[in-house]
Amino acid sequence: MTSASRRIDVHQHLVPPFYRDALAGHGITEAGGRALPGWSPEAALELMDLLGTETAILSVSTPGTGFLADTAEAAALARRLNDFSAALAAEHPGRFGWFATLPLPDAAAAAREAERALAELGADGVTLLANTGGGYLGADGQDALWRVLDEHGGVAFVHPAELPGPAVDGIPPFAADFLLDTTRAAYLLVRGGVVRRYPHIRFVLSHAGGFVPYASHRMAVALAADTGRSPLDILEDLRGFYFDTALSSSPAALPTLLAFARPGHVLFGSDWPFAPAAAGQYFANGLDSGVDPGTLAAVDRGNAEALFPRLAAGTPAPAPSRPLHARLRQSARRAGARAFFRMVQPGTG
């Protein structure tokens, strides 16, 4: 990490107290097999200073509002979350952006809230869970939402949720199921032609797209047999997604992601606070040491500036919200795999 990196983190979460209370009221104390982490704006800013992040675009992680069976309650909670996020970004100009929470699976209600968030509240995009209650992105009946996002040239941040059906004993959902969930959504968005019919939507796939870069050619063969389309066209659709590096800038995953994604389509992500600070350091250091300076500058900031023009035209980088002791900075630069695996309890969000 360099002090001049000024990263833009497109994958950072928030857990407002009223949202935590709403989850607890329904017996939900974890997400993806990991206990809900503590969160505050101050802690977020401290982590951002540690990783050299200037701006974080915040989102609500799984389960979103999908735990509420009443559609009116889900819509009301989404509105409250979005009002909170908009106010937080206004209180910290230049430090926070946000993706709106939508009350899926009700596509009509989601379309209305997307319109409000994008047109009235100034959201940077929307969060879409790969599946809500077993209903996946790309299924029939979602065109009302796609039309709104396409009209706004919206960014849709696709985050995994727990897979439909029971988890496998001994495998927490975040460890493998989340990657499959994102992959399923990407597959169905391509299979259903959503990415072609609505070309102005920019989809960002979490965690380097799950299995998409690694299984893309296999998926293209299956999709070609199913749809009659050219495998090369299908590969172009899959390469058209954006991908974040959250928990994915490892020596094993990063080269494949960069080889697969279109130029300009890889974005920095931390997954904090579901991924603790040590995990953020480990994967940020993997990015810092794993690519050439030009690629690093693009992934850290340049690609996000192109996706979110307001960030490119924004104000000068603010002073760190909380100065770090020199020893802490040095420790952050030296953090390596051994320290990471010793410090981090198994689990991510």
CA distance 260 to 253: 11
Instruction: Evaluate if residue 315 carries a pLDDT over 70.
Output: no
pLDDT at 312 (0 to 100):
86
Of the listed ranges 123-137, 274-288, 317-331, the one predicted with least confidence: 317-331
Helix locations, 152-201, DSSP H? 177-191, 194-197
pLDDT at 313 (0 to 100):
76
Which tokens hold the place of 116? Answer: 């409000």
Residue written as token pair 């770090």: 324
79 within some domain: yes
98 within some domain: yes
> For 112-159, what is each residue's pLDDT tens digit?
999 999 999 999 999 999 999 999 999 999 999 999 999 999 999 999
pLDDT at 165 (0 to 100):
87
| Confidence grade of residue 349 (pLDDT, cut at 50, 70, 90) | low
| Average pLDDT estimate for 311-334 | 46
| Average pLDDT estimate for 80-98 | 97
349 within some domain: no
Contact 343, 69 (CB under 8 A): no
| Average pLDDT estimate for 18-24 | 98
2 within some domain: no
Residue written as token pair 């979460």: 13
CA distance 339 to 320: 25
Contact 226, 191 (CB under 8 A): yes
Nearest to 86 by CA among 104, 100, 75: 100
Contact 150, 179 (CB under 8 A): no
288 within some domain: yes
Alpha carbons within 13 A on the beta-carbon side of 310: 12
Contact 142, 107 (CB under 8 A): yes
> How many structural domains does the chain have?
1
60 within some domain: yes
> For 206-239, what is each residue's pLDDT tens digit?
999 999 999 999 999 999 999 999 999 999 999 9
Domain residues for the domain of 308 are 7-343
Look up the CATH number of the domain holding residue 31: 3.20.20.140
CA distance 241 to 212: 10
CA distance 86 to 80: 10
1 within some domain: no
Alpha carbons within 13 A on the beta-carbon side of 319: 3
> For 284-305, what is each residue's pLDDT tens digit?
999 999 999 999 999 999 999 9
Instruction: Evaluate if residue 270 carries a pLDDT over 90.
Output: yes
- What pTM was estimated for this model as a whole? 0.89
Residue written as token pair 């893309």: 216
pLDDT at 4 (0 to 100):
52
232 within some domain: yes
